Chains A and B, each alone.
Chain A
Amino acid sequence: MAEHSFPPRSSVKRWLVTTNHKDIGILYIVSSLFFFIFGGILALLIRTQLWTSGEFILSGSAFGQAVTAHGLVMVFFFLSPFAFGFANYIVPLQIGADDLAFPRLNALSYWLYFFAGMVFIVSFLQGGTIEAGWTLYAPLNLPAFMPSPGATTAILALLMFVGSVTASTINFIVTIHTHKADGLSLWHLPMFTWSILLTVWMMLIAFAALAAALLILGADHIFGAQYFTATEGGGLLWAHLFWFFGHPEVYIVFFPALGVMLETYQTFTGRRLIGRKWVILAMILVTLQSFLVWMHHMFLTTINLEIKTLMMAMTIGISLPFDLIVFAMIYTLLKGRIRYTTPFLFNFGALLLFILGGITGVFLGAIVLDYEFRGTYWVVAHFHYVMFAGGTALIGGLYYWWPKITGKMYNEFLGKLHFGIYFIGFNLLYFSMFLSWEMPRRVFTYHTGLETYNQMATIGGIILGASFLIMFYNLYTSYLSGPDAPDNPWEYSRTAEWATSSPPPLENFEGVPTYRNGFLEFEDRNAVADGGHVEHGHEPGRHPDHASWWPVTISFAGFLMLIGLAGLGEHFAYELLFIGGAAFVLLSAIGWGLEDFYAPEPLRGAKWPFDGVHKNKFGMWVFLASDIVIFGAFIGAYVFIRWGYGWEAWQNVPAESLPGLVNTFVLLTSSFTVILALVYAQRGNRRGVIAGLLATIGFAFTFMLIKSWEWNFLLPEAETLPEAVTMLVTLDFDVLFHTEGPAIDASIMHSTYYVTTGLHAIHVLIGVVALGYLAWRAWAHNAYIDGNERPVENVGLYWHFVDIAWVFLFPLFYII
């Protein structure tokens, strides 16, 4: 879509098609605030129920659903997306980029998030949503305890959300590493951008582990796999997978807030952050350490004492860099001259809350004390003090960047009033929970002696909620009729977003930002384009695209598909929805592929240590890194379960290894043919490219045929190969997965075999689609032989990875 047809902000169409990072940032902020209200209403329901110690407005099950949905909505659909609304809007400005590296992918992230939220809302309408707490502990998370399709729908909503996060992660990692202005090295990045950079690196690993956990849980729900019911440690397996994600997740939600705090402390004290380098190093350390403490959430399980002790030590270790960060902040505040604006007040309040939350966390990190505190309101109070401290800082961020985003000033008095009431409500609400620490969490009734504390908390909750009426009123009137904001309303702000107009123009800066001389300067756009080295893919004179219908279309298709998937076997309509939705996803993905969307890479900039890697290839590698974690977690789950079962007592499902070996040869050969296609592309040999790609597709089908023959061979219900293929094609899941014979639920051995090789088979099928697309383009459009062979190379990278995965699956499931 050309620039002239890009609709204005007053048009609804603009918001459906936009790929501009500032628009997407606004969409994220608005949607996340919607989910904040939704989660807040659930919270008020919970607090109302707890007004008295006995039965009141909610049944036990309704209470369980409210608690679960409140947690999931706040953590996944409010906090992170709220932070990423700012990240979207501010990070490109801070690094001097025109947009993110992949604007269309960014729009896809947003719409996947939005529709994931819609899938989650649908789950309420299907006989009740999931009811296992936000940690989804096994075996409570299984159909045996929640037979309605709503629970499955909620799991798929989370999976779709993870898809959104993965796309964002790739986008931000590539953008921050390769789209920085000339001369802006990593060390000189503003603190907010630093915090987002470290956040996305944590997300890369952590959310891939969650993806694996949810995929397996989905297989348990939809296909009847037996992972988390397994007596060989199924419940522990969930805890490991979840908390390997979950502990880093608490920093993932906190780091962006930390970035806002560091930013605002500098702006409103007029001081540069004291010990800036050390703070950055401490944050990097926390990023690494966040993956080393997850079992402090498992102190009351049967894992061995040695590892518990180790995790306790590591937990103490992770509080050390945090101490450094906190002291650097306090010192900066002491040294500077503070101006008590609304953003500052919220961020200062956040620090106080965070300190209290951190100290109470240290109690929990001690095994002996945790024996008392585990599963009580002490934990609830602890994590609200830390996580919602993050939320507090982000609300400060909303006030801080509001003038930049809207071009309007808000009312300071109302802002301060909001803070005052908010802060009182907050502490009344959550401090009461410390006082009622003997109360078990997630239970809808409690011991009668604790009514006073609970009523204090409920009143606090109402005050807290009411304070937001002031905020929404303030922002609403400011937006409609507030005074115009100058480019830089805050004296002493030093980051680049304040060096452009409020709000900034479509391409952010009039000139091209550069830091070549050590400070921010602007160069003439045309001079840079002419003088710079013109890289391949740059089309001089062409304007970047800013609009596409495909992100919203694909996400909507995914919404339909997942609702269908959740209800498979419930009703025929669900099956239709699933098949129709899947076809719709496929078609819109092809539409995406065919669209000529132009988003150039900056001609020059600070890219160390990723110099010279084209952004698409870099993006593919980041994606593969997350896929390594997904496959690795599947394999890890297999090893864990098999270990629990007794390694050598385990029996491999395939009766013989020959089909697997043949398939190994087939895949290795396909890896060779796909590299041939690339070599021929480089040599400009059209027929070679097409032959290489077609051969690869042929081998992929051979692999799938042998695979389905094998599945058929293992399943007595299908006597012949055609029969097995028919079952697959007609999605006869009942026959395929729920039989008396050795089906997926026959034993844990069968479950692990089918689920892991099934994940691999899905990868093969996706590869076939991508390869088919390449072959068609090479044939119909003579593509890839004009010096732009990158798509062949990047799909090849993916295909080789599929091969590598099989290199491990074959010995693990057939030989040893």
Chain B
Amino acid sequence: MASIKLYFAVYVALLILAVTKVIFIEFFEYWTAVGAILVSAFTKSALIAYYFQHLREEPRAISWLVLISLAAVLLLAAAATYSIT
């Protein structure tokens, strides 16, 4: 189990990443900003899952469980949206 210091560092990183989203949309061209914001959101989620939900300490199969359901629903969203383009 990690120290409070590490958790605090992660927390600060999360706050900074949150602000970046607002900044990206101001300064980048729209679709670049969208991409950057998504990268930032996935990074944040990964930090939360890896440290706060301590996936790093669990058997890898738990991470697979999460990734499988994520992949399934991304497939649904992407294929459905593609089907109407």
**Chain A residues in contact with chain B, CB under 8 A?**
204-205, 208-209, 233, 236-237, 240-241, 244, 291-292, 295, 298, 302-304, 307, 609-613, 618, 621-622, 624-626, 628-629, 632-633, 635-636, 639-640, 643-644, 648, 657, 661, 664-665, 668-669, 671-672, 675-676, 679, 682, 796-797, 800-801, 803-804, 807-808, 810-811, 815-816
Contacts and interface: CB of A to CB of B under 8 A. Distances in A.
Interface string B14-33: 11001101100100001001
Given A618-B62, A632-B74, 10 more contacts: A205-B68, A304-B84, A621-B66, A629-B73, A632-B69, A632-B77, A671-B48, A675-B52, A807-B44, A811-B37
B14 to A, nearest CB: 5
Given A679-B7, A800-B52, A811-B41, A205 B83 contact: no
Given A610-B59, A621-B66, A665-B15, A639 B7 contact: no
9 contacts: A205-B69, A291-B72, A295-B83, A609-B61, A621-B62, A648-B30, A661-B22, A675-B52, A808-B45
Most chain-B Cβ atoms within 10 A of its Cβ — which of A298, A800, A810, A811?
Answer: A811
A640 B83 CA distance: 10
Given A240-B83, A304-B84, A807-B45, A668 B15 contact: yes
B75 A204 contact: no
Contact of A810 (B4, B21, B61, B84): B21
A291 B75 contact: yes
A753 to B, nearest CB: 18
Contacts of B1: 679, 682
B72 to A, nearest CB: 5
Nearest to A245: B76
B76 A797 contact: no
A668 B83 contact: no
Nearest to A298: B83
A640 B69 CA distance: 19
Interface in B41-85: 41, 44-45, 48-49, 52-53, 58-62, 65-66, 68-70, 72-77, 79-85
A632 B82 CA distance: 16
A611 B14 CA distance: 31
Contact of B73 (A622, A628, A682, A797): A628
A233 B82 CA distance: 13
B43 to A, nearest CB: 10
Given A307-B82, A800-B49, A808 B41 contact: yes
A803 B83 CA distance: 31
Contacts of A816: 25, 30, 33-34, 37
A815 B80 contact: no
Q: Please name the 4 residue pairs, one residue from A and one from B, whose CB atoms are nearest each other, closest first.
A: A632-B73, A636-B77, A303-B83, A609-B61
A661 B4 CA distance: 25
- Give the dominant DSSP class at B's interface: helix
Contacts of A209: 73, 76
A679 B4 contact: yes
Contact of B76 (A622, A632, A682, A804): A632
A796 B52 CA distance: 9
A804 B4 CA distance: 20
Contact of B53 (A244, A669, A797): A797
Given A639-B77, A640-B80, A676 B66 contact: no
Contact of B68 (A625, A640, A664, A807): A625
A609 B60 contact: yes
Contact of B85 (A304, A610, A613): A304
Interface of B: 1, 4, 7-8, 11, 14-15, 18-19, 21-22, 25, 30, 33-34, 37-38, 41, 44-45, 48-49, 52-53, 58-62, 65-66, 68-70, 72-77, 79-85
A613 B62 contact: yes
Contact of A804 (B18, B30, B48, B60): B48
Nearest to A808: B41
B69 A676 contact: no
Contact of A303 (B18, B38, B84): B84
Contacts of A628: 66, 69-70, 73
Contacts of B61: 609-610
B11 A672 contact: yes
Contacts of A810: 18, 21
Nearest to A630: B73
Contacts of A240: 76, 80, 83
Contacts of A302: 84
Contacts of B18: 661, 664-665, 668, 807, 810
Which of A292, A632, A807 lies at the interface centre, i.e. has the most chain B CB atoms within 10 A of its CB?
A: A807
A664 B40 CA distance: 14
Contacts of A803: 48
A244 B41 CA distance: 26
Nearest to A208: B69
A307 B79 CA distance: 8
Given A632-B73, A679-B7, A797-B53, A613 B48 contact: no
B34 A613 contact: no
B7 A675 contact: yes
A668 B14 contact: yes
B33 A807 contact: no
A26 to B, nearest CB: 31
Contacts of B65: 621-622, 625
Given A622-B65, A629-B73, A644-B84, A815 B11 contact: no
Contacts of B85: 304, 643
A671 B8 CA distance: 11
Contacts of B21: 810-811, 815
Nearest to B51: A675
Contacts of B62: 610, 613, 618, 621
B8 A672 contact: yes
B63 to A, nearest CB: 10
A657 B37 CA distance: 14
A812 to B, nearest CB: 9
B37 A815 contact: yes
Contacts of A675: 7, 52
Contacts of B79: 295, 307
Given A632-B70, A640-B80, A800 B48 contact: yes
Contacts of B44: 804, 807
B58 A613 contact: yes
B33 to A, nearest CB: 7
Contacts of A682: 1
A636 B34 CA distance: 16
Given A303-B84, A639-B77, A204 B11 contact: no
Contacts of B59: 609-613
Contact of A640 (B7, B14, B37, B77): B77
A289 to B, nearest CB: 12
A613 B38 CA distance: 31
A673 to B, nearest CB: 10
Contacts of A613: 58-59, 62
Nearest to B62: A621
A633 B19 CA distance: 26
Contact of B72 (A629, A648, A807, A811): A629
Nearest to B46: A804
A381 to B, nearest CB: 28
A657 B22 contact: yes
